[in-house]
């Protein structure tokens, strides 16, 4: 089939736009990430004298970096519509966020839609695959105190021990509030077949849009961070809890990400912007921690039930283009998540000014 002039022009424009966006992203990273590191190096005396203030400033810088990532998608027309419970109501409480995982763009989507949730972004901790440690953002995540988990049976037990130690050492000493976890342990396309085989063998529901979650990391988080009075189980790091007067984890926020036609956005698309503007839909459901069982078997069944519900939510979304109403409601209500272009430009400008002001030896 012959290519028309109009088609060639469209392809050329898309390629040029992607090239310019990529160049901007590279420049953005080359100034913003070193600036973040250098600011924190300069502030090391404050870390010794007033650790709380140091981690407050680090959190603000961290939020700005995530806003820069969000801006790449926002300016390409990749926006978010939110459904379900309003998580802003619990933004100042401790919560664990359970998210389905379809592609690398899931992380970018969360970086965007959590920007307007108060102090959440600057006080959150991420659990992510260890491979992200070796990306351009790995240094930032290491400094911030995120945890990189290595997948596979050979590493599982050791990783859970390391996770517990990491939470006890960093979570409350750095005043973290939300912890983000992808319980499926990998992308949908990579785990679906294995998950379905496991479900068939163990007489569990057949899932198409999500996979059965893994229990380990969720159980460690709850055991370590839930205050004893909440569910009757000993909480790790009791001394830290007492010192910080923390109430412990108070909520589980079940988060479901849905893409139109089930076509997820990956990080390459987010950066290059070659896909047409797309609205990603995010559904939240909040559970009080007291309603989450502590015993492994009961917790496993509870977690399975959440992903069975995700399957139903996504099936409804793909059939109708919307999530169903919450229980007790007759109509589903959606909220368009917005970012201020002026604010994003201000943050980007500050990053480039900081990079320009850095000494040549840096």
Identify the pLDDT of residue 228. 67
pLDDT at site 361? 40
The tokens describing 247, both together, are: 């109430």
Q: At what angle do helices 341-357 and 51-74 cross, to 10 degrees?
A: 120
Q: How far apart are CA 53 and CA 73, in angstroms?
A: 31
Band (pLDDT 50/70/90 cuts) for residue 1 is low
Percentage of the chain beyond pLDDT 90 is: 72
Distance CA 282, CA 234 (A): 33
Reading phi first (left if > 0) and then psi (alpha if -120 to 50, else beta), residue 180 is in: beta
Q: Look at residue 230 and tell me whether its pLDDT is greater than 50.
A: no
Greater confidence (278 vs 236) lies with 278
Strands 95-99 and 124-129: unpaired
> What element of type H or E holds 287?
strand 278-288
Average pLDDT over the chain reads 88
Residue 10 has pLDDT above 90, yes or no: no
Domain boundaries, the chain: 5-356
Closest C-alpha to 115, from 59, 182, 70: 70
- Give CA–CA dist 143/170, Å, rounded: 11
Q: Give the phi and the psi of residue 325 in degrees, each rounded to 5.
A: -65, 155
Contacts of 233 (CB under 8 A, 6+ apart): 222, 223, 226, 294
Checking if the pLDDT of 241 tops 90, the result is: no
What's the average model confidence in pLDDT over 132-146? 88
- CA dist., res. 278 & res. 105, Å (int): 12
Cα 28 from Cα 71, distance rounded (Å): 11
Other beta carbons within 10 angstroms of residue 155's beta carbon come to 13
What are the pLDDT digits (tens) for 320-351? 999 999 887 888 889 999 999 999 999 999 88
Give pTM, 2 decimals: 0.89
How many Å is the Cα radius of gyration of the chain?
Answer: 21
Distance, in Å, from the CA atom of 56 to the CA atom of 2, rounded to the nearest integer, reads 59
- pLDDT at residue 314, as a whole number: 97
280 close to 122: Cβ distance less than 8 angstroms = no
| pLDDT beyond 80 at 15 | yes
Contact 216, 164 (CB under 8 A): no
Helix H or strand E segment including 278: strand 278-288
3 state SS of 22? helix
Quote the CA–CA distance of 73 and 104 in Å, as a whole number: 13
Q: Percent of the chain beyond pLDDT 70?
A: 92
Dihedral of CA atoms 315, 186, 91, 344 in degrees, nearest 10, equals -100
Residue 273 has pLDDT above 80, yes or no: yes
């Amino acid at each position: 089939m012959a290519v028309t002039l109009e088609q060639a022009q469209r392809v050329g424009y898309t390629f040029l736009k992607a090239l310019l966006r990529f160049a901007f992203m590279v420049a953005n990273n080359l100034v913003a990430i070193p600036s973040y590191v250098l600011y924190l190096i300069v502030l090391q005396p404050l870390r010794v004298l007033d650790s709380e203030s140091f981690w407050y400033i680090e959190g603000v810088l961290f939020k700005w970096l995530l806003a820069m990532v969000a801006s790449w998608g926002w300016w390409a027309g990749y926006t978010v519509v939110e459904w379900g419970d309003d998580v802003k109501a619990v933004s100042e409480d401790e919560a664990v966020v359970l998210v389905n995982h379809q592609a690398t763009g899931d992380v970018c989507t969360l970086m965007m839609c959590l920007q307007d949730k108060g102090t959440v972004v600057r006080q959150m901790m991420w659990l992510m695959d260890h491979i992200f440690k070796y990306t351009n953002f790995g240094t930032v995540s290491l400094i911030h105190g995120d945890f990189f988990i290595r997948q596979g049976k050979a590493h599982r037990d050791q990783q859970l021990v390391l996770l517990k130690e990491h939470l006890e050492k960093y979570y409350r000493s750095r005043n973290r509030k939300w912890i983000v976890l992808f319980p499926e342990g990998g992308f949908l396309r990579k785990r679906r077949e294995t998950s379905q085989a496991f479900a068939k063998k163990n007489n569990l529901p057949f899932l198409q849009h999500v996979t059965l979650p893994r229990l380990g990391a969720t159980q460690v988080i709850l055991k370590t961070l839930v205050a004893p009075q909440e569910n009757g189980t000993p909480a790790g790091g009791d001394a830290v809890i007492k010192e910080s007067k923390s109430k412990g984890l108070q909520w589980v926020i079940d988060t479901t990400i849905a893409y139109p036609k089930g076509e997820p956005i990956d990080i390459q698309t987010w950066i290059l912007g070659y896909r047409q503007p797309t609205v990603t839909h995010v559904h939240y459901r909040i559970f009080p921690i007291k309603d989450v069982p502590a015993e492994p078997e009961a917790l496993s069944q509870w977690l399975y039930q959440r992903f069975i519900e995700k399957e139903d939510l996504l099936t409804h979304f793909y059939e109708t283009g919307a999530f169903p109403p919450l229980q007790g409601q007759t109509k589903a209500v959606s909220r368009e998540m917005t970012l201020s272009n002026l604010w994003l430009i201000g943050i980007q400008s500050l990053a480039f000014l900081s990079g320009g002001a850095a000494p040549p030896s840096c």
